[in-house]
Amino acid sequence: MPHLPLRACQLCGRVTRRGTTEHHLIPRMCHSNKWFKKRFTREQMRETISVCRDCHVSIHKLIPSEKELGRDFHSIEALLSHEQLANFVSWVRRRK
């Protein structure tokens, strides 16, 4: 099996042994919702970012509402504007 290069997390910038997972900026459960269909293209709804497991878990722990995630936090900048998530990312960047 070929060894794939590990990618850096798009939030904290770390490269971890566990690699990254894809986070949908607009959660998949919202894709059939009329509010989202009116405001976002199919391509925008499919957009993902690569994040380490620590950041991915924190996103969903700190912003548990899928609709809130899709409406208010559908970009890297918006995610980092969430005070608790920004504090977590700042803290995790200092970890190895």
Predicted pLDDT of residue 70: 96
Predicted pLDDT of residue 3: 53
Is 51 within 8 Å of 59 (Cβ atoms)?
Answer: yes
Span 67-83, pLDDT tens digits: 999 999 999 999 999 99
Span 5-32, pLDDT tens digits: 688 999 999 999 999 999 999 999 999 9
What value does the CA radius of gyration of the chain take, rounded to a whole number of Å? 14
Global pTM reads 0.89
| 3-class DSSP state of 25 | coil
- Which residues 6+ apart lie within 8 Å of 44 measured at CB? 25, 26, 74
Give residue limits of the domains in the chain: 20-93
Is 23 within 8 Å of 59 (Cβ atoms)?
Answer: yes
- Is the pLDDT assigned to residue 85 strictly greater than 80? yes
Is 50 within 8 Å of 10 (Cβ atoms)?
Answer: yes
